[in-house]
Amino acid sequence: MTTPHSYITTQRLNPYTTTYTLTPPPTPQPKHHHPNAHNTPNHHHTPNRERIPRMSDFLVKRKDLRECRIAESSVPELEQGQALLRVERFGLSANNVTYAVFGQIMSYWDFFPAQEGWGRVPMWGFGEVEQSESQGVEQGVRVYGYLPPSSHLVVTPTHGGGDGFVDGSPQRAALPSAYQSYLATGADPFYRADTEELQMLLRPLFFTSFLIDDQLSDEGLVERGPIVISSASSKTAIAAAFLLAQREGVELVGLTSARNVEFVEGLGIYGSTVTYDAIQSLQRGPATFVDVAGDGRVRFDVHSHYGDELVYSMTVGVTHWEDLGAGEGELPGPSPTFFFAPDRIGKRSEDWGRVGLQSRVSDAWHPFCEWTGGWLEVVEDEGFEAVQRVYLDVLEGRVDPRTANVLSLVD
């Protein structure tokens, strides 16, 4: 059954869970309306205050990411210059686990402060301006941006206008600007109603992957031996490999677990697929390691195998978050360098201008969306209990790489 989104077919699982299976257009399908579907770019949800009479938050214990709870409090009253966003829906993937794992050292917890010892894991998604005391920010405007897993968010808009605004809240002043913008859907070059689910799930990952591809090319690493990518089945790795595979002469090696070999090979973007226990089978010589898994044992095995011939080691994510510190002894070869997307954004914004960077990423994004239609299944749930369940599934690695999760907080 086809929703109004041209690339998405819908299968009803139960009254609260819907699975969206992305399939390439233009195969005709009978029409079906789903209550969570967005029929037009200007669709707005009406907040259901009887269902959530107070502000709700999904909180995670900072020192034990498995401990989490749902808390309620009063919806904050606005001061002059502030606006209240009602969080509608967001994607939840291994990318969000990375935010939690690095929450303290990379200040991700600081974006949306919570009570002592607890944190609100940042998400990417859509919200609507429910109230506004800020000039230039109109009630009812729908925006895309960095959101907490909460029913509401108070922002202090600056540079407000028809294209959105930047949150100038004091607690966010010292944090990377890349996470501060809220883009009005009507003016966003990325936005298309028929790929809204993909934007929540893959847009932030794709932006990171675009920057990884750009840096590897800019520094000549794509010409100095194979690019070896761990957690090859993860969305960030897939997007990076998709872009790198379009460059002439690039050799890509995907490292993955035995259970994901068939899926990774079926993507058709890696030149070869190797399991983690077979790293020693790789041909020695100059190579670059892009570490998306963050698994200390895998990192040690790759560094030990290539030794001083390893040209560069880039740390991107922690899909294997519990094994971050695994592996024994000092690493042979170059020291791993943590890839921090805002730094690369800053460089390319200077080189190309902010609009130029957005244009380049947008041009690469739309073909990627069409390509994912061949294999990605988007599963949508609603409510805070579902947020908690899906978060724990992602944290424990129980999510199939062919699927991705979207959570809705409004009817």
In this structure, is residue 69 part of a structural domain? yes
Low-confidence residues of the chain, pLDDT below 50? 1-53, 320-328
Q: What is the pLDDT of residue 13?
A: 31
Note whether residue 17 is domain-resident.
no
Same domain assignment for residues 269 and 396: no
Position 2 scores a pLDDT of 29
Reported as a single tens digit per residue, the pLDDT across 333-373 is: 999 998 888 889 999 999 999 889 989 999 999 999 999 98
How many Cβ atoms from other residues are within 10 Å of residue 173's Cβ? 11
Both 182 and 309 in one domain: the answer is no
Q: d(Cα 58, Cα 409) in Å, to the nearest integer?
A: 11
Instruction: Clarify whether residues 293 and 219 are in a common domain.
Output: yes
Residue 197 lies in a domain: no
Are 169 and 243 contained in the same domain?
no
For position 260, which CATH number holds?
A: 3.40.50.720
Look at residue 189 in the predicted model and tell me its pLDDT.
86
Q: Say what the pLDDT of residue 14 is.
A: 33
pLDDT at residue number 330? 82
The pLDDT value given to residue 317:
66
Show the domain range for 152: 55-191+377-408
Q: Indicate whether 72 belongs to any domain.
A: yes
Query: Which pLDDT value is given to residue 376?
Result: 93
pLDDT of residue 218: 95
Number of independent structural domains in the chain: 2
On whether both 162 and 261 belong to a single domain, the answer is no
Say yes or no: 209 and 339 in one domain. Answer: yes
Asked whether residue 14 is domain-assigned, the answer is no
In order, the DSSP letters of 118-165 are EE---EEEEEEEEEE-STT--TT-EEEEEE-SBSEEEE-EEEEETTEE
| pLDDT for res 204 | 87
In this structure, the answer to whether residues 326 and 384 fall within a common structural domain is no
Residue 337 shares a structural domain with residue 382: no
Q: Which of 297, 321, 343 is the last residue of a domain?
A: 343
With respect to residue 48, please indicate whether it lies within any of the assigned structural domains: no
Same structural domain for residues 219 and 321?
yes
Does residue 213 share a domain with residue 101? no
Q: Which residue in this structure is represented by tokens 């600056």? A: 158
Pairing of strands 227-229, 287-291: parallel
User: Are residues 147 and 236 both part of a single domain?
Assistant: no
Q: State the DSSP string of 239-303.
A: HHHHHHTTSTT--EEEEE-GGGHHHHHHH---SEEEEGGGGGGSPPSSEEEEESS--HHHHHHHH
Q: Indicate whether 215 and 293 sit together in one domain.
A: yes
Q: Is residue 369 part of a domain?
A: no
Instruction: Name the domain boundary from 294, 325, 343.
Output: 343
CATH number of domain containing 118: 3.90.180.10
The answer to whether residue 13 sits within a structural domain is: no
Q: How far is CA 4 from CA 25, 28, 143, 193, in A?
A: 12, 12, 20, 9
